[in-house]
Amino acid sequence: MSSPAPVALSVRDATAADAAACSALYAPYVRETVISFESEPPDAAELARRIASAQERHAWVVAEEAGEQGPRVVAYAYAGPFSGRAAYRWSCEVSVYAELGRRRSGVGRLLYAELFARLERRGYRSLFAGVAEPNAPSAGLHAAMGFERVGTYRRVGFKHGAWRDVTWWQRTLGEDGPAGEPPTEPR
């Protein structure tokens, strides 16, 4: 018996038209896991707002799988501000979500590689990711993508009847310029 042929995925920038698919993909993470600390899944209108906001200064990408009814979004990754303070403007927080059955399939690496390339071109230099524990697949993905575990916020969130820790991961992008000179502004 032969195994099925691998399905080709394509990655592109997200648009508002992807909001419903992203909302449907994200909802089980909110309802059924501690991976997201949101308590109610955001609807398509809210995801459309988030996509537009991310695309203004950071990035949001989706992975699509070809199908008989046309391409279908199966995962997404995005970046947003790490903090609102001016000195942090070269840093951003990143996240990736795949259909629950696609975890550890390589789609996270594919999306992160595309996302990081976009962020580096825009001038970002530091990436941060918060991983709600326990979550070995996410920790493994971040380590594989060059992140270092830099700390843990203990008992920082309460979800599904228990206090949850969040580990923080950091990765550097690009090269720093000459000492004492500010980097190019992110765009």
Query: CA torsion angle for 17, 20, 22, 28 (degrees, to 10)?
Result: 180
Residues 10-58 pLDDT 10s: 999 999 999 999 999 999 999 999 999 999 999 999 999 999 999 999 9
3-state secondary structure of 125: coil
Q: Is the pLDDT of residue 149 over 70?
A: yes
Residue 169 dihedral angles phi and psi, to the nearest 5°: -120, 145
pLDDT confidence of residue 177: 63
- Domain boundaries defined on the chain: 9-172
DSSP codes of every residue in 26-79:
HHHHHHH-SSS--SS---HHHHHHHHHHHHHHSEEEEEEE--TTS-EEEEEEEE
pLDDT at 180: 63
Band (178; pLDDT cuts 50, 70, 90): low
Q: What is the pLDDT of residue 2?
A: 42
Cα distance from N-terminal residue to C-terminal residue, the chain: 52
- Stated pTM of the model: 0.91
- Tokens found for residue 44: 């398509």
Q: Is 180 exposed, middle or buried (0-12, 13-18, 19+ CB in 10 A)?
A: exposed
- The residue written with tokens 């391409």 in the block is 71
Q: What is the H or E stretch that residue 150 is in?
A: strand 148-159
* Topology (CATH level 3) of domain 9-172: Aminopeptidase (3.40.630)
Over the stretch 79-135, which tens digit does the pLDDT of each residue have?
Answer: 999 998 999 999 999 999 999 888 778 899 999 999 999 999 999 999 999 999 999
